[in-house]
Amino acid sequence: MEIKRVGVIGAGQMGSGIAHVCALAGYDVLLNDVDPDALERALETITSNMNRQVSREKIAGEDRDAALGRIRTTETLGELGETDLVIEAATERESVKDAIFAELVPHLGSGTILTSNTSSISITRLASKTDRPEKFMGFHFMNPVPVMSLVELIRGIATDEETFEACQSVVERLGKTASVAEDFPAFIVNRILMPMINEAVYVLYEGVGGVASIDKAMKLGTNHPMGPLELADFIGLDTCLSIMNVLHDGLADTKYRPCPLLTKYVEAGWLGRKSQRGFYDYRGEKPVPTR
C-alpha cells in the first residue's frame, strides 16, 4: 500500500504541523478547514517555521521551497477523496469527529486509510461509525509536531495489519519514532501526563504552592523543560479538561476526577496561551501567574 497523497483535516496548531512534516517528507498534502482564515494562518505558520529551520540549517532552502509547493488547501472536505491517507486533526470532541467522517467517507476510494490525531478518544468507537474500521487507526502526533519525534500509533479492534504497516512506514518516512499503544482511554502519553497536570492543579487548588512555585519545583526538582501548569497553558486547559473527562468516564476511577479549579478556568474562558490567560496571564511583556 503506497501512500503518496496525504489529506489533513483541521488547520490549527496540530494540523498545520502535520502538514508541515508531511510536505517536507515528500508527500503531496491537501490541508482542509471550514475557515478560510485558518487555512491562511496555517500557511503563514508553516512558512515561518520552515524559514526558521532554514536559518538554523536544519533544512535547505530548496527543500523548504519544494515542500511549500506540495501543500494545497481546500474548504471542501470531499476533495480529500483524492488522497491515500487522511489524518483528522480537528477539535477534540467526538461528535465533531463523527460528523467529519460521516461527511467524508462517501468521497473516499476503497483503499484510503482513515486516521485520527485524537489524544484520548476511543479509536475503535470512531472507526465503528465509518465504512472502513479495518482501515482506521489512531495517528497521534505530539505538539509541536515539527519538533517532537514521537508518534503514537493506536490500533482499533478491527485495524488490519496492512493498515498498521502502512502507517508505520509513514512515521518512518517522516523521520519520527512510533510508539504502539493499545486502544484504552488517553493511550500512553496522556494517560501518564494528564493526571500529573491535574494533580499539579490540585496542589494549586489546595494552596500547597502557587503557580510559580509549582512550576519551579518541577522544572528544577525533576528536570522537566516546562512546569506542569505552564505546559497545561501550552496544551490548552480545555484540552486538558477534555482528556481528564475521557479518563474519568472511560476508566471509572476517582483518581482521574478533574480538579474543580481546572473546570473553573475553562468555564471562565481562561484556556491558556491561545486565549492569553490561563494559569499565567500572557497579555503583558512577560507571563505573570494568575494565582
Which residues carry a binding-site annotation for NAD(+)? Answer: 10-15, 33, 92, 97, 119, 143, 274
Label residues 132-160 b or e (16+ Cβ within 10 Å = b). Answer: bbebbbbbbbbbebbeeeebbbbbbeebe
Place of cell 515542500: 67
* Active-site annotation holder among 190, 198, 230, 242: 190
Residue 281: φ, ψ to 5°: -100, 120
**Secondary structure (H, E, C), 188-209:** CHHHHHHHHHHHHHHHHHCCCC
94 a catalytic residue: no
Which is the catalytic residue, given 16, 49, 116, 119?
Answer: 119
* Contact by Cβ (8 Å): 167, 115: yes
CB 182 within 8 A of CB 119: no
Annotated binding-site positions: 10-15, 33, 92, 97, 119, 143, 274
Cell 511583556 locates to 285
Q: Choosing from 116, 140, 198, 242, which is the catalytic residue?
A: 140
Q: Active-site residue 224, yes or no?
A: no
Catalytic residue among 88, 94, 152, 230: 152
119 in active site: yes
Confirm whether 107 is a catalytic residue.
Answer: no
Active site residues: 119, 140, 152, 190
